[in-house]
Structure formats: structure tokens, C-alpha cells
Structure 1
Amino acid sequence: MAKTKFDVKTEAAKVFYAGVGVNDLAVELVRDYVADVQTKVADVQKNVTSIDLDPKALRTYIEARVAALQSEAKGYPAKVQSVLTENVDTAADAFEDLVKRGETLVARIRRQESTKATVSSAKNTAAKAKTTTTQASKTADASKTAAKKAVKSTPVKKKAAAAKSSAKATATTAKKTAESAVKATGDAAAKVGD
């Protein structure tokens, strides 16, 4: 009997994608039920116009309708459970379905322009931060050398100015990255539950 190789990275990715798939499915179900409730509320509003406006008749109607809606609401958890149970033949199939759903959603999010822009901006920010670190280190080294010589050094001032400029550019790029990330997050949230 041949042994199957267990790849931790692949299995961990499957668990991640299954988690994304579960969240996506939950959002979809909640949206469906909210739409169902909104339809029922609209029906109730239509029925209210046809109700006798006598206070006793109105009270009786409202109490009956509230009781009916409460019983329906109490049944929603069971409905959700039965929908999930009906749609899943086995736990392994459900897991694989959720993995595929999660992979699809993550792939859609990775393909969106705002995500690509955020990744590019983050790489640019990291490069600028590295440059800033290098320039600050060089400035510090030049300052030590100048201090040891007890000489006022023009190159130290230039290096300090370059480090300051680089730090400012890094901060600006980081801000743009954060703004891009906010947009990408909003775009990704819109894809959940579709």
C-alpha cells in the first residue's frame, strides 16, 4: 500500500480557503434571508392598508401578524441548518466545495485592480523604507566620523538632508499604500457572498 505524501502548506491553504468559503456562503445565505424578510415586510405593508382601522380589529391583526412573524423567525436557524444539510452529502465533499469557493473568491480579489495597485504600492513603500534606512545609517556613520574629527562637515548635512527627503517620500508612499489598501478591502468586501 502506497503512502500518500502529506504537504502541510497545501493542507493549511485548503483550511484557509475553506474558511473563506464558509464566510462567503454565510453571507450569501444571510442576504437571501434578508431579502425574504424584506419581501414579507412589503407584503405586510400592503395588507395593512386593507385592515379595518377599528382599534380592536387593528390590535388583533397586529398581534396575529407579530406572532406569525415570530414563529417564522424562530424557524430560520432550522431552515439554515436544513439548507446546509441538504446541500452537503458528506463532510469531505462540503470541505472541498468550500475550498473551491474560497479559492475562487481569493482569486477574484487578487485579480481586481485595486488589489494589484495595493501590492505594487506596498512593494514601492518597502523599497523606499529600505532606502531611508540605508541613508539614515550612512548619515549616522558620517556624523560619528565628523564628530571624531571635530570638523564641521558639509557632506554630513547633505546626507542628513537626503535621509530626511527619503523619509518624507517613504511616509507619502506608505500613506498611498494605506489608501489603496482601503479601496482594495472595500472592493473585496463587495465580492463576498456573490
Structure 2
Amino acid sequence: MLPAQCDARWRCANFDDARSHLVPLLADLRKLELGMLAERWRGLLDRQAASLVRSVAAAADAGKLYLPDAGAAAGWDGSRGGALAAYGLEGPAELPDYLESQLNVLTELAAASKGARAWLAQEGAGTPVDARPLLAEWSGIDAELARRSAKPGRRAAEARSLAGHRRGRTRQCQLRGSAGPRHGRR
């Protein structure tokens, strides 16, 4: 796991811990008719949760999960295994470990960010506009991971589906004119 991914997981764990203490405080503030103060605290949690969702997406992008090295095709000599080389693999024997490691990172990031994403999914949450597509993306990833756990042993199909989520995100970034996540080996 890359430092950005470890940092995102750590920050998400801190948010979950703080949230467990602040939710009762928000309720108590409302009981004391200090709704304005409660809303300030809620706004702080909204902003923190949105920041965490962005952080988790950036960590996934930094890991270039399921993304091939775009430059690998330019250096391809026409020999067999060009697709494997695009993922930094030397042969088919490395593919299962590669897929498993990518899946593990994505699973850990999805699990770590569930608390922040659940917070933003609440009614009345002040979810920033730029975080909404990320929430939708991670919701799709959650659905794929749930399908995976329901049907173990379908590694290739799972990888294609999860890779589609990641490639779709890359295409969206490129269509908006930004550099988007860089392609390359993890």
C-alpha cells in the first residue's frame, strides 16, 4: 500500500472515531436549543467527510489501480504478452497476484471510507458538488465488491468490472481537460 493510501485510511479511522463522539454532542446541543452551534459542528463534519472522500479517491488514483501504463504500447515490440507488460507484469503467472493486490487495496480503501461516505449520504448533509460524483463512483465500487463476496472465484470478471470503474473515472478526467490520474505501474 502506498503512503497516500495509508494516510487516507488513517484519516478515515480518525473521522470515524471523532464522529462517534460528536454525534451525541450534536444531539445534546439540539436538546439545549443550541441548534446554530450544532449546525456549525455538523458543517465541520460535512466538510471533513467530503475531504476524506476526495482523499480516498486521490489515494486510489495515486496507486493507479487497474490502470495500464499508457507508454507501454509505444515500446511494444510485437511479442506476446504486450497486455501483461502494460500492467508491469512479466508473465501470466504474475496476473493472479496482481489482481489480488489491486483488489485488496481497493477493498481496504472502500471499507475505510464507509463512515465518511455514510455521513455524506445522510439527509441534510452539506455534500459539496465536487464530492457527489466520487460518492457515486464509490457506491458502484461497493456494489461490485458486494457482488464479488457473493460469488467468490470470479477474479477475472471482477477485475474487468472494477477496472471499468477506474477507467471510466480516467476518461471523465480526460474529457474535462484535466490530466486526470496518470497511467502506469503501481
Q: TM-score, normalised by structure 2?
A: 0.31
Q: Which has the higher helix share?
A: 1
Q: TM-score, normalised by structure 1?
A: 0.30
The structure that has the greater radius of gyration is 1
